[in-house]
Amino acid sequence: MLVLLLTTALVVAAALVLATHVAQGSVTSWLVAAYVIAFAEIVVVGLALSLVDAFTRWPLLAATAAVLALALVGTRPLRLPRIPPATPTPKSRKREACW
């Protein structure tokens, strides 16, 4: 029973993380996106585990944890390089005046 609750929590968490990046607009679109993503995750994980005859509780728990990890890594914000200012600063003006 505990594995079922943990697996359900992992599926919901992965769906909500992905839905925050997919859905734009209202709360309704966010919830619908989370529902569709969770359903698709269950189907894909179930099919993948069925192909290798590993559809038991522990591989299911590991697969849903892996999906959540991939969702967290795939949706993390990227750090863009800092772009220098286009306008000259007083320090750069002094350097240019010295040349």
Q: Domain ranges in the chain?
A: 16-72
* CB of 67 closer than 8 Å to CB of 41: yes
d(C-alpha 10, C-alpha 14), whole Å: 6
pLDDT tens digits, residue range 35-63? Answer: 999 999 999 999 999 999 999 999 999 99
pLDDT of 1 reads: 87
d(C-alpha 60, C-alpha 55), whole Å: 6
3-class SS string, 80-96:
CCCCCCCCCCHHHHHHH
pTM of the model: 0.73
Q: Which amino acid is present at 20?
A: T
